[in-house]
Amino acid sequence: MTTSRFAPGTFTPAPGRGRLGRMLAAHARVETALTLRHGEQILLTLLIPLALLIGLSLLDVLPAGEFAGMERVDWITPRILALAVLSSAFTGQAIALGFDRRYGVLKRLSATALPRWLLVAGRLVAALVVVTLQVLVLGAVAALLGWSPSAAGIAFGVVLLAVGTLCFGALGVLLGGALRAEAVLALANIVWFVLLLAGGILMVPSALPDTYATVVGLLPSGALAEGLHAALVDGTFSAGACAVLAAWTVVAAAIATRTTKLT
């Protein structure tokens, strides 16, 4: 056996686990880069919300009664931000995870020294980075359209966006980690569409029949949209919305730790 290409000692064992911070950063960086490079993800996470933001701000298609005298862009922007979170943290995340599992990446990574919790943490950090970029782009476009959020509520809005991202991220991992890639793809898109139209993002609970309004307010989509509305329009913190999101996060994470499969 010749070893000409490899000097003796090249592979002398020196095993050990990498530093946690470095592993988390490396994992989150790859996850973020993959999301930003993926055309369909950009369409879902940025182009559709942008089109809705611009279209609904400029065109007179929503019933005027909902605005109660405010600018359309002020009414629509918090809801578009909620949609952005739903799109990337949930739908995009679930689909990516479904296909990553098929390509064996979870198995590959869980065979390294990367702890299991870090596999999820890296994805959630990446989701937070992507949501930050979405909010910056959508916020800038909304500002050009005349958006003037409540200054007092911006910090509340940031908190809700972070909690909302973790919540939808956990739900995305729950869906993407449990089913076959094709099933994940179909279901994640259906859920996106249903929550957009009937889950409290474009339809306001107060405009709906009472029972249905209560249900929508307890959905993560309804809670996030109403919470962002309260923060960015009224400048108030909706503890109720935050509690609903936190509860969904805990439940989804607890189930996902049992159901998520590597392949």
Partner 1 sequence: MTESAPARATRTPRRHAVPLTFVNAAAVEITGLVKRFGSVTAVDGLDLKMPTGEILALLGPNGAGKTTTVEICEGFRHADAGTVRVLGLDPARDGSALRPRVGVMPQGGGAYPGVRAEEMLRLVAACAADPLDPAWMLDVLGLGTARRTPFKRLSGGQQQRLSLACALIGRPELVFLDEPTAGMDPQARRLVWELLGALRTDGVSVLLTTHLMEEAEALADDVVIVDDGTVIAQGSPGALTAEHAEDAHLRFRARPGLDTRLLAAALPEGYVVRESTPGSYRVIGHVDPQVVSTVTSWCAQQGVLADELHVGRRDLEEVFLELTGRELRT
Give me the least distance between CB of 11 and partner 1, in Å please.
4
Interface stretch with partner 1, choices 6-14, 77-85, 146-154, 245-253 (CB under 8 A): 6-14
Residue 206 · residue 113 · CB < 8 Å: no
Q: Does 258 bind partner 1 (CB under 8 A)?
A: no
CA distances from 206 to 56, 118, 130, 163, 213 (A): 19, 40, 31, 23, 6
Least distance from partner 1 to the Cβ atom of residue 38, Å: 6
Residue 95 CB, nearest approach to partner 1 (Å): 11
Q: Does 104 bind partner 1 (CB under 8 A)?
A: yes
Among 6, 61, 209, 211, binds partner 1 (CB under 8 A): 6
**CB nearer partner 1, residue 10 or residue 211:** 10
Torsion angle of C-alpha atoms 136, 140, 146, 150, degrees rounded to 10:
30
Report in angstroms how near the CB of residue 22 gets to partner 1 at its nearest: 5
Q: Does 63 engage in binding with partner 1 (CB under 8 A)?
A: no
Phi first, then psi, for residue 183 (nearest 5°) are -65, -40
Nearest distance, CB of residue 111 and partner 1, angstroms: 4
Which is closer to partner 1, CB of 115 or CB of 235? 115
What gap in Å lies between CA 89 and CA 93, rounded to an integer?
Answer: 5
Write out the two tokens for 199: 């889950």
Other beta carbons within 10 angstroms of residue 121's beta carbon come to 17
Nearer to partner 1, 95 or 167 (CB): 95
In eight-state DSSP terms, residue 59 is S
DSSP letter, residue 110: H
- Name the DSSP class of 66: G
65 binds partner 1 (CB under 8 A): no
